[in-house]
Amino acid sequence: MAAAPDPRPSDASSLAALQANSGSLPERLIAHLDMDAFYASVELLRYPELKGQAVVIGGRRMHEPRTLADGTREYSRLRDYTGRGVITTSTYAARDLGVFSGMGMMKAALRAPDAILLPTDFDAYRHYSRLFKAAVAEIAPVIEDRGIDEIYIDLGEIAGIREAVGFDPLGGVRAVAREIKNSVLRATGLTCSIGITPNKLLSKIASELDKPDGISLLLAPDDLQTRIWPLGVRKINGIGPKAGAKLQALGLETVGQLAAAEPAMLIAQFGKSFGAWLHEAAHGRDNRPVVTHSEPVSISRETTFERDLHAVHDRAALGAIFTRLCEQLASDLQRKGYLGRTVGIKLRFEGFHTVTRDLTLDLPTQDAQAIRRAAGACLKRVALDKRLRLLGVRMGSLSRPGQATEMRARAKRAPASTGPAPAENLSLF
C-alpha cells in the first residue's frame, strides 16, 4: 500500500483552510442536511405504532393498511408481494436486515419476509419537503435544493456561527446546527442529519456519518485523515458502481488509498477530467458554490411494467402507455413553464439491457402531440425484438417561452424544415 499523502491540501475549500494553530474557522461553512429515512419517517407519522419496526415503502394502493372492526390496523407483509417493484426506501430497522432503497421487492422479501409493506404517497412527501425547507430558510436562507429530502446550506454569514462557546471553538457551529434541526423537528415532527465542512463534497459525506438524527462537523485539519480516508471510495458522491469496481481492481478501496495514488495513474486509467477529479475529491477539495437556483437539464416520465410486454402481442397496451407518458410529460412541461427541443426515449428490455434514442426538433415545444410524434420517430430506430420491462420519454434542451418566441422568429427567416412524419406513420405501437 502506498504511503499516506499529506493530509493538508492547500486550496481554500479544503479542511486545511482551518488554521491549526489559531483555531479559526474556514471562510466557507457549508452544511448538507439530509432527512432521515424520509419517506418511511413520514409514514411513521401516520402509523406511529410501526416505530422501531422493519417497514418498506414502495407498494401499490392494494397494500394500504386495513382498519379492522376493533380499530386496529392490519398491514401487508413483504412476503406477500408479487411483481417487479423496487423499494423506494426503508426504515433503519429494515436496513439492519439488509433491505435498502433500490432493491427489488422480491429479493428484499427473501431477507425480511415479515417486514411491513406500505404504498408510496408522494403528495405527502412533497408536503413535508416544503415544510422542512421553509423551516430551514427562516434560519439560513442561502439554500441549494437537491431534491425532496436533501439541501445544501451556506452558513458562512449566519450570526454567531464563528463564536466559541466556553472552551469549544466550534460551539457556535454546533448551536446553529441544533437550531436548524430543532426547527425542522418542530415544523414536521421529523429528524434530520447535518454535516458541516468547508465544502459540498465533504458535507455530503459528513451528513451520513452519524445518522440518524446526527450532527457531524469536519472542521479540524486532521478530520480528513481520521474520518474520511478510512471510508470506502463509494462514499464519495460521484463515484458510481463501475468506477468503484475499477478502483477496487486497482487496489484502491478506501478514500485514503485513492488519495495516495499518483494523479498520473488515475488520469491514465480514468481520463484527464475524471482522473484529476478523483485525486481532488480524495483530498477533500471542492470549490463548487451553493447554488440557490438552477434550471433543470431535462424532464422525464417513465414506468416499469408489472410483467414484460411484447411490442407485437401487447401493442395496444404499449401504445396507450406510450401516449400517456407523452401527455404526462407535456403536462409537466406546461406546469413548470418549460418548452423543449430534444425528445428522447428510454427502453429497458428483459435482461436489463437499456437503449436510448433522441431527436432534436427545429423549434421547442410543450405540445403532447408533437412530443408523441417525435418520440414515435425515435422508437422507429430501435429493434423491438425483445420483451420490454420499462418505457420512458424525456424532454431536453429546455427553454422558457420567451426564448422560444425568439427562436420561432429566427426560424421564420430560415428555410422551412419538413420535420418528422405524422405519428401514425412512425410509431410501432
Catalytic residue ranges: 150
Cα–Cα distances in Å, from 251 out to 1, 228, 268, 274? 8, 18, 15, 18
Question: Torsion-angle region of residue 376: left (phi > 0), alpha (psi -120 to 50) or beta?
Answer: alpha
Q: With beta carbons less than 8 A apart as the criterion, state whether 61 and 119 touch.
A: yes
Question: Within 10 Å of residue 382's Cβ, how many Cβ atoms?
Answer: 16
The cell numbers describing 156, all together, are: 458562512
What 3-state DSSP class applies to 51? coil
Contacting residues for 161 by C-beta, under 8 A, at least 6 apart: 25, 29, 155, 172, 173, 175, 176
As a whole number of angstroms, the distance between CA 324 and CA 330 comes to: 10
Q: Strands, E, within 16-127: which ranges? A: 30-35, 55-59, 66-67, 73-74, 76-77, 89-90, 116-119
CA-based angle 292:294:298, to the nearest 5?
155
Residues 146 and 296: their CA atoms lie apart, in Å, by 11
Find all residues with CB under 8 Å of 53, minimum gap 6, and list them.
91, 93, 116
Q: Is 154 helix (H, G, I), strand (E, B) or coil?
A: strand
Q: Report d(CA 2, CA 136) in Å as an integer.
A: 43
Q: Between the CA of residue 424 and those of 308, 349, 427, 429, what are the distances in Å?
A: 24, 24, 6, 9
Q: Give the CA-trace dihedral at 10, 14, 20, 24, to 10 degrees.
A: 120
